[in-house]
Structure 1
Amino acid sequence: MAHCIGFAGYSDSGKTTLVAKLILEMNQRGYRIAVMKHDAHGHYKEAAGTDSTTFVESGAEAVVTLSPDGIHVFEKKRNPSLEEQLSAYAHLDYVFIEGFKKEKHPKIAVFRTIEQSEIIQALEPEPIAIATDMDDFNFQLAAFPSFDLNNTPGIADFIERYFGSK
């Protein structure tokens, strides 16, 4: 079963950049990673003009595109659950989850401003760690392990320790 860890923060907090860097770091350590991203507002769209978009717009319930290096799946589904999707990637080492603030998996709170740091109080359960690049953030006051947002190896080490990997 893959270890699941989330990265939660408000818009422009650095979540995507951190997850992308962690994918590279964890791949170098020999892990296989999947990413699940929450699109809470339904903004994701298939690329305009592609065959798969034409099929979706024509009313197909599912479109599966197979290419030499991967599969892309689009499936219409009301209120898909994160838990249901995670089971499809249980064969991997880790699933990094971006967003899904209200789900119960362990999360690292990510923020770049004092306003964004309110994510710490917004998460239930509370985060297992925080990652920020704020120079003036008082790490001593934080009740959680705290990391510089750019310390990708340190965050990867924490994730390995948290799950008892390696």
Structure 2
Amino acid sequence: MAHCLGFAGFSNSGKTTLIAKLVVEMKHRGYRIAVMKHDAHGHYKEAQGADSTVFVETGADVVVTLSPNGVHIYEKKETPSLEEQLAAYAHLDYIFVEGFKREKHPKIGVYRTIEQRELLKGVAASLLAVATDLSILGDDFALPQFNLDDIRGIADFIEQYFMNCQF
């Protein structure tokens, strides 16, 4: 079963950059990784003019693109569930989730400003640690704190956390 870890933060907090760097580090350590991104506002678009986009725009319910190095699946679905998607990729080692900050899975809080830090207090119960490029700010949720550039340290923390978890 894959270990699910979320990255909670608000726009421009550094979530995508942090996850991308962690994917590289965790792949280097030999793990198989999935990344799921929450598009809460429905902004995701297929590439303009691509055949798959044409099929989506003409109303296909599912479009599967098979390439020499992967599969891209687009499926229309009312209120898709995170749990359903996590189950589909349970055969991997880790699933990093960007967004879904109100869901109950464990998360690392990510912020770059005091305002973003304050907004994270609403999801503090599910936070395991925080990552920021601000100077250390007091107890900061009384959680382990990492600099956004400390990719090795964050990766070590993730490994240790899931090693110590009882399922």
Q: TM-score range by the shorter chain?
A: over 0.9
**Structure 2: distance between partners of 1:119 and 1:161:** 27
Superposed, 1:4-153 pairs within 5 Å as 4-123=4-123, 125-135=125-135, 137-153=136-152
Contact conserved, 2:108 with 2:128, CA < 8 A, in 1?
A: yes
Does residue 1:2 correspond to 2:2, yes or no? Answer: yes
SS at match of 2:91: coil
Q: Post-superposition shift, 1:84? A: 0.3
**C-alpha deviation, 1:141, in angstroms:** 4.8
SS of the aligned residue for 1:78 comes to: coil
Where do 5+ consecutive residues of structure 1 fail to align?
none
Matches of 2:129 and 2:162 in 1, distance apart? 13
Amino acid at match of 1:151: D
SS at match of 2:13: coil
What amino acid is aligned across from residue 34 of structure 2 in structure 1?
A
- Specify which structure has the higher proportion of helix: 2
AA at the equivalent of 2:146: F
Query: Which residue in 1 is equivalent to 2:156?
Result: 157
The alignment covers a number of residue pairs equal to: 164
Runs of 4+ in 1 over 6 A off after TM superposition: none
Q: Comparing 143-152 with 156-165, which one deviates more in the overlay?
A: 156-165
How far does the alpha carbon of each residue in 1:81-130 deviate from its partner, in whole angstroms, 9 at most, with x for none?
00000111111000000000111100000000000102431116331100
Report the identity percentage.
Answer: 66
TM-score (norm 2): 0.94
Structure 1 length normalisation: TM-score?
0.95
RMSD of the alignment, in Å? 1.2
Distance 1:122 1:44, change over 3 A: same
Assess if the C-alpha contact under 8 Å between 2:37 and 2:98 holds in 1.
Answer: yes
